[in-house]
Amino acid sequence: MILAIDTSSATSALALLGDDGGVVEEQTGLSGPGFDVAARATALRGDRHVSKVVVATGPGSFTGLRSGVSFGLGLAIGLKVPIVPLPTLAIQAARAGAPVTAVSEAGRGRVYYLAPGGQVGLAEPAQVPRERPLVGWLRPATREALQAVGLTFEADDRLKTFGQAVAILLKSAREVAYGSLRMEYMQSFSARVSP
């Protein structure tokens, strides 16, 4: 079984996939202290053997990323199984059957975005590309701000689940050494002091 973990967004998710990539079981919930990734992953996995761990690596908040990635890395090391990092925005983009712009929280009313064939960008709502619908797990206020400037979201009933998206990306994803796992945190803001 493959255990996939994403605690990088406003919604957290866990999925258990068969070694063939089929989704066995999954669950999502609001991110934060109420989403106990260790307890949920333990219950989800039960007595099934985990042969690989997949973790979302951001961009995301420091605490959010750390909770999922630390648990996933610890589990992988403890079980002596491979770990596979997947970018958060790539997971969101893979949930759609057609080209979309993937978005995630960047703090202070901004979002990270990834348009097809592009680089990850950081933007205010009015600066997000408008050519395609959006897909991403956002806080309600962020989603409303994007809609207020005329951006639309792909309908939820047209999207794949988290586990299905992970299965798609696993076809070309690579395992990494435990010590080389890297996360992409939200940009930090530095205060400037006038002389």
CATH code of residue 38: 3.30.420.40
- 6 and 75 part of one domain: yes
Same structural domain, 144 and 173: no
Q: Does one domain contain both 103 and 11? A: no
Instruction: Report yes or no on 188 lying in a domain.
Output: no
**Is the residue at 30 inside a domain?**
yes
| Per-residue pLDDT tens digits for 90-107 | 999 999 989 999 999 998
Beta-bridged to residue 53, according to DSSP, are: 3, 83
Residue 186 inside a domain? The answer is no
Quote the pLDDT of residue 187: 62
Residue 185 lies in a domain: no
Asked whether the beta carbons of 105 and 58 are under 8 A apart, the reply is no
Residue 188's pLDDT is: 45
Residues 76 and 124 in one domain: no
Q: Same domain for 101 and 120?
A: yes
pLDDT of 193 above 60? no
Within this chain, do residues 129 and 173 fall inside the same structural domain, yes or no? no
Handedness of CA 79, 179, 36, 1 (dihedral sign): negative
β-strand 121-123 against 110-114: which pairing, if any?
antiparallel
Average pLDDT along the chain: 90
Mean pLDDT value across residues 161-177: 95
The label of the residue with tokens 């893979």 reads 94
Do 83 and 97 fall within a single domain? no
Q: Is residue 114 part of a domain?
A: yes
Shared domain for 18 and 110, answered yes or no, is no
40 and 56 together in one domain: yes
Under the banding of pLDDT at 50, 70 and 90, the label for residue 55 is: very high
Asked whether the predicted pLDDT for residue 134 surpasses 90, the reply is yes
As a whole number, mean pLDDT of residues 125-153 equals 95
Q: Are residues 45 and 105 in the same domain?
A: no
Please tell me whether residues 81 and 166 are part of one structural domain: yes
Could you read off the pLDDT of 70-82 as tens digits, one per residue?
Answer: 999 999 999 999 9
Question: What percentage of the chain carries pLDDT values higher than 70?
Answer: 95
Beta bridge partners of 113: 103, 121
Kindly state whether residues 115 and 165 are assigned to the same domain.
no
Task: Give which of 78, 116, 91 is closest to 166, Cα–Cα.
Answer: 91
- pLDDT over 80 at 160, yes or no: yes
What's the number of domains the chain is made of?
2
At residue 191, the pLDDT reads 34
Assess if residue 191 is contained within a domain.
no
Domain holding 65, by residue range, is 2-87+161-180
Q: Which of 92, 81, 184 is nearest to 135 (CA)?
A: 92
